[in-house]
Structure 1
Amino acid sequence: MRHLAPTLVLLAFLVLLPPLPALAHFAMVIPDENIVTQESSKTLNFQFMFRHPSENTSLDLEKCKAELLVDGKKTDLTGQLAEFQIQGKKAWKASLEIKKPGVYIVGMDAAPYWEKAEDQYIHHFSKTVVNALNAEDGWDKPLGQKIEIIPLTRPYGLYAGNSFTGRAVYKNKPLAGRNVEIQFMNADGKLKAPAEAYVTQAVKTDHDGVFTYTAPWAGWWGFAALTDDDDKIKRDGKDKKVEVGGDMWVYFHESLVK
């Protein structure tokens, strides 16, 4: 019995511990650069990843579906995807030849990911917008994803400290009163948040699905509009909830004024 008391104390302590925070998942579409100039390489490389970007950790991304929208025309890029590894996890890459001016919207439909800790699937869609050779029209066009962020701010040519405004839609309808999670791409892992609450920023959409966020420093920032999907996925014979996310990646250049 004398060994039982410490065990009971330990069990009670574990019960009282707060649950570990759920890490924010982001599907990522990241190009070499988001503005292609006359001096740039005309071969644009894209990486497709599934990560916790601010924590600089990766998850396996099973082969996704990738597509391009430019000049109102869609092209399936899935067959061009090549696998590579990041932190020992599966990711994908593809290249585009920039042959003419245009606004290039590249997106992906990531395979649903089973998150055991949350007892649900996570199914994210993602996209980014690249301006090539000073084209201006088309940056606000929807890609037609199940859940998507439609930019209301032009999503390139932004400085750190600029605000980004977007409209979240689910099945082409405004996603009202939902969370939009925000993280930056902490590529080298050098930046450390002072507390857990700083890792993932969050805003809510208004009744039209609109949200705004101001990026405090330069780099790639990801916005993920989240909701529960109407559809379920079966696992072990049971219907499981599916969180769908519409992710968008926007680059903010460092300020010219210090």
Structure 2
Amino acid sequence: MAITPRLLQALAAVTFGCVSCAAQAHFQMLYVKETALSRADDLEFAIVFTHPFSAGPTMAMGQPRAFSHIGSHSGEQTDLRHYLRPVQWQSRGNQASAYRASIPRALVRSLGDHVFVLEPEPYLETEEDVYIQQFTKLIVNVGGVPGNWSEPQGLPVEIQALNKPYANWTGGVFRAVVLADGKPVPFAEVEVEYLNHSVDIANNVFGQHDYVTAPQPAFKSLSTYADAQGIVSIGLPRAGWWGIAALNIGATKTHKGKPLSQDAVLWVQARDMK
């Protein structure tokens, strides 16, 4: 039987299909209380690998490989790893290693966009015997001055925003392009999950109260696909935080002899119109 490109693509999908399954509902959080600031302020980050709709279980994080800030106007990248400090994060049902970071006001003093990027150490999902690595972006704006919110950051995998991630009304639609090595990924599998509880950064714990109740498990983590141009459109039906993850799109498919899912994550904040 001739081995055609289409057949090879199908075989690859079967081989690595389990990787996408393992990555489902896992979200690397890169959380701050507010992303649209009137003026510069200190930023307190919670960096937790978890299931945001259900407030857990939370997975133990290793030391992040990179944590950086890209300025709005200069484009200069600043290494933030020295701000990271390990914590034990309490979610519902378990406690696991996570990180906090206190970023000083001086770093975000300029008006415009400030891009924060996290490259975590791959996490071994023991139930499926695969690694998951989620390259995660969060964009903070100061003063309403637009900047580099739509610019890709040259990551192996990333989600390039087509709408400002920090300026969305409830009920609106958020659009983005899924990228791998800077190129759009046609028909990428995408998961969307709502942060369904409060985040108590000071005490390293998730709140016990759910904002909404899922009528059935499929509603906890929503699935869709990018189109032929790699563009994905996401509805934002409720105010708060929405995590968007494009699954298993990286070129690197193995880590330490096991399958690897390299995912891209972008966090989007929506607000009620009052």
Pairwise same-fold verdict (TM > 0.5): yes
Cα drift, residue 60 of structure 1: 1.1
Distance 1:168 1:132, change over 3 A: same
Q: Percent identity?
A: 29
Residue of structure 2 aligned with 1:89, choices 96, 100, 104: 96
TM-score relative to the length of structure 2: 0.80
1:113-156 alpha-carbon deviations (Å, 9 max, x no partner)? 11122221111110111111222121101122211000001112
Cα drift, residue 228 of structure 1: 5.0
Cα drift, residue 28 of structure 1: 1.2
Question: Could you tell me how far apart the structure 2 residues matched to 1:59 and 1:220 are?
Answer: 20
The structure richer in strand per residue is 1
Q: Determine helix, strand or coil for the equivalent of 1:79.
A: helix
1:228/1:241 contact within 8 Å kept: no
User: How large is the RMSD of aligned CA atoms in angstroms?
Assistant: 1.7
1:77-116 alpha-carbon deviations (Å, 9 max, x no partner)? 1111111221121111212223221201111011101112
TM-score relative to the length of structure 1: 0.84
Equivalenced residue count is: 231
Distance 1:234 1:218, change over 3 A: closer
Note the 1:115-130 alignment, pairs <5 A: 115-130=125-140
Cα drift, residue 240 of structure 1: 1.4
Residue of structure 1 aligned with 2:80, choices 70, 77, 82: 77
> Equivalent residue for 1:34?
35
Question: Could you tell me how far apart the structure 2 residues matched to 1:53 and 1:170 are?
Answer: 25
Q: Determine helix, strand or coil for the equivalent of 1:28.
A: strand
> Equivalent residue for 1:202?
223
> Equivalent residue for 2:169?
159
Cα drift, residue 164 of structure 1: 0.4
Residue of structure 2 aligned with 1:219, choices 232, 240, 255: 240
1:229/1:241 contact within 8 Å kept: no
2:188/2:225 contact within 8 Å kept: yes
2:168/2:269 contact within 8 Å kept: yes
1:156/1:250 contact within 8 Å kept: yes
Question: Could you tell me how far apart the structure 2 residues matched to 1:229 and 1:135 are?
Answer: 33
Query: Does 1:50 pair with 2:24?
Result: no
Question: Could you tell me how far apart the structure 2 residues matched to 1:140 and 1:51 are?
Answer: 26
Residue of structure 1 aligned with 2:143, choices 118, 130, 133: 133
Residue of structure 2 aligned with 1:179, choices 180, 184, 189: 189
Cα drift, residue 243 of structure 1: 0.7
2:165/2:269 contact within 8 Å kept: yes
Question: Stretches of 4+ moved more than 6 A in 1?
Answer: none
Alignment gaps of 5+ in structure 1: 1-20
Cα drift, residue 167 of structure 1: 0.2
The letter for the 2-side match of 1:152 is: L
Distance 1:194 1:149, change over 3 A: same
Residue of structure 1 aligned with 2:252, choices 201, 209, 231: 231
